[in-house]
Amino acid sequence: MLIAIPDVLSADEVRHFRAAMATAEWVDGNITSGPQSALAKVNLQLPEDGPAARELSQRVLAALGRTPTFIAAALPAKVFPPLFNRYRVGETFGTHVDNAIRMQAGTEFRIRTDLSATLFLSDPDEYDGGELTIEGEFGEKQVKLPAGHMILYPASSLHRVTPVTRGERLASFMWIQSMVRDDRARRSLYELDVSIQKLAGRLGLGDPEVVSLTGIYHNLLRRWADA
């Protein structure tokens, strides 16, 4: 399931992020790479224990908590503290798959990576190249969204960031452990939820059909959820 989620951050929030990142220290992006990814990755990253990353990470988590589409699509159980990267001209991240388990350095926090997400912090007209290219049962999709928008996709997907040829690409990236680990089941629940919300908008939440479908949704979630 590949879902674009608009307006996770407002324009004012994006400006705050950009200002904080402009004065922050950047390090080699391979500080969070496994040995295979390190062969393909050339970019910069905010140190995850640095003050800028800690503050901005908490702001992203707060934004996700008030974004209904993210909650409905991801059904999040845990979110890895968001990280931040920067691609300049010539920098890229070749084809790779994300690690199945991610651990936060220096802590006991770990998650199973069911979903990956990229939250764009640069607008498409600010850079050339830098497309997030995702391969899956939906084919190969190139993604380049406005600043403040997010793409959510299966962490099991092969994906890459094409080389930046002009400007600079800034983004936040993260992984999510869903209450429903199976992607097909999660997609079915999301599609059912969207249909219920549309029907409720026309008929009202108390309509018998809406109530019945809501019951089916929750019974399926009860059946498939790990927690």
13-56 pLDDT, tens digit per residue, is 999 999 999 999 999 988 765 666 566 789 999 999 999 999 99
Taking the CA atoms of 175, 181, 183 and 188 in sequence, report the sign of the dihedral they define: negative
**Judgement on whether residues 95 and 195 belong to the same structural domain of the protein:** no
**Judgement on whether residues 42 and 135 belong to the same structural domain of the protein:** yes
Domain count, the chain: 2
**Judgement on whether residues 197 and 153 belong to the same structural domain of the protein:** no
Measured CA to CA, the distance from residue 49 to residue 43 in angstroms comes to: 18
**Judgement on whether residues 140 and 207 belong to the same structural domain of the protein:** no
**Judgement on whether residues 43 and 113 belong to the same structural domain of the protein:** yes
Q: Model-level pTM? A: 0.93
> What Å distances lie between residue 101 and 44, 65, 200, 208, CA to CA?
22, 23, 38, 42
Measured CA to CA, the distance from residue 92 to residue 79 in angstroms comes to: 25
pLDDT for res 34? 60
**Judgement on whether residues 22 and 110 belong to the same structural domain of the protein:** yes
Nearest to 13 by CA among 139, 216, 213, 172: 172
Task: Please report, rounded to a whole number, the percentage of residues in the chain having pLDDT higher than 70.
Answer: 96
**Judgement on whether residues 141 and 206 belong to the same structural domain of the protein:** no
Residues of the chain with pLDDT under 50: none
Measured CA to CA, the distance from residue 3 to residue 131 in angstroms comes to: 16
Q: Any idea how long the chain is? A: 227
**Judgement on whether residues 157 and 126 belong to the same structural domain of the protein:** yes
Backbone angles phi, psi at 53, to 5 degrees: -65, -40
- Containing structural domain, residue 202: 183-224
**Judgement on whether residues 93 and 29 belong to the same structural domain of the protein:** yes
Q: Amino acid identity of 166?
A: R
